[in-house]
């Protein structure tokens, strides 16, 4: 994966990213729609990035609308959707259209190297002492398969769970890592992550 430029979509303050990981890039271009994200990102990572000579560009706005321009401007960058695509279903009443947009994401991103961590499903679960170990799979991983049902069972999922419509975000055949996140007591998120090189 490219290591010169990173474009982060849905960066927030970069809570989930260690500063040391960000310093492997020469430039970080972060996008978040929340005006508080930029100052908080700088507060959390600014000093370490400056010490390592990583240039930081913070953008406040709709990073999804800006994607095509960003890909034109930074065709050699690595684009990372940082736990944002799984929330897209909450931004529109038209779920069919949103699901279609999410399914088309890997076509839209063909020109660049990119990846995503996103919610696959979430919901109530039995009380757990431990969260299950991460699980590897190949995209797409339908939740109806016995393996995925077993994974949900390990999380103690109590039906029904919310589908975040991200099953087809990553290109078919992408290696993925699935992680259980204890979001709050008796409530889990199933997160999927994966990345792929540019195709064109």
Ligand X SMILES: C[S@@+](CC[C@H](N)C(=O)[O-])C[C@H]1O[C@@H](n2cnc3c(N)ncnc32)[C@H](O)[C@@H]1O
Residues that bind ligand X (CB under 6 A): 9-17, 31-34, 37, 62-64, 82-84, 87
Q: 10 Å Cβ neighbour count for 92?
A: 11
Q: Compute the least distance from the CB of residue 83 to ligand X, in Å.
A: 4
Query: Which C-beta is closer to ligand X: that of 40 or that of 158?
Result: 40
Q: How far is the CB of 66 from ligand X (least distance, A)?
A: 8
| Cβ 60 to ligand X shortest distance, Å | 9
Is the CB of 82 or the CB of 192 nearer to ligand X?
82
Nearest CB to ligand X, comparing residues 64 and 139:
64
For ligand X, which is the closer residue by CB, 32 or 192? 32
> How far is 101 from 119, CA to CA, in rounded Å?
16
Least separation in angstroms between CB 4 and ligand X: 21
Q: Residue with the closest Cβ to ligand X?
A: 10
Looking at the DSSP bridge assignments, the partners of residue 137 are 176
Nearer to ligand X, 91 or 130 (CB): 91
Q: What HEC string does the chain produce?
A: CCCCEEEEECCCCCCCCCHHHHCCCCEEEEEECCCCHHHHHHHHHHHHHHHCCCEEEEEECCCCCCHHHHHHHCCCCEEEEECCHHHHHHHCCCHHHHHHHHHCHHHHCCCCEEEEEEEEEEEEECCCCCCCCCEEEECCCCCCCHHHHHHHHHCCECCCCEECCCCCCCCCCCEEEEEEEEEECCEEEEEEEEEECCCC
Nearest approach, Cβ of residue 14 and ligand X (Å): 5
Which of 82/167 has CB closer to ligand X? 82
- Tell me how far, at minimum, the Cβ of 85 lies from ligand X, in Å: 9
Angle at 105 between CA 197 and CA 64, to 5 degrees: 105
């Amino acid at each position: 994966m490219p290591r010169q430029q990173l474009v982060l979509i849905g960066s927030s303050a970069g809570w989930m990213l260690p500063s040391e990981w960000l310093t492997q890039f020469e430039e970080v271009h972060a996008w978040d729609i929340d005006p508080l994200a930029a100052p908080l990102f700088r507060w959390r990572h600014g000093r370490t990035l400056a010490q390592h000579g990583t240039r930081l560009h913070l953008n406040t706005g709709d990073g999804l609308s800006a994607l095509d321009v960003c890909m034109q401007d930074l065709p050699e960058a690595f684009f990372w959707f940082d736990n944002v695509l799984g929330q897209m279903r909450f931004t529109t009443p038209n779920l069919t259209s949103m699901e279609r947009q999410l399914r088309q994401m890997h076509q839209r991103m063909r020109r660049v190297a990119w990846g995503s961590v996103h919610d696959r499903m979430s919901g109530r679960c039995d009380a757990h002492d431990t969260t299950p170990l991460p699980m590897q799979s190949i995209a797409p991983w339908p939740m109806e398969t016995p393996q995925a049902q077993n994974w949900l069972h390990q999380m103690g999922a109590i039906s029904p769970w919310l589908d975040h419509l991200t099953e087809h975000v990553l290109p078919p055949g992408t290696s993925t890592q699935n992680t259980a996140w204890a979001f709050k007591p008796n409530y889990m998120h199933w997160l999927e992550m994966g990345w792929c090189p540019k195709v064109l």
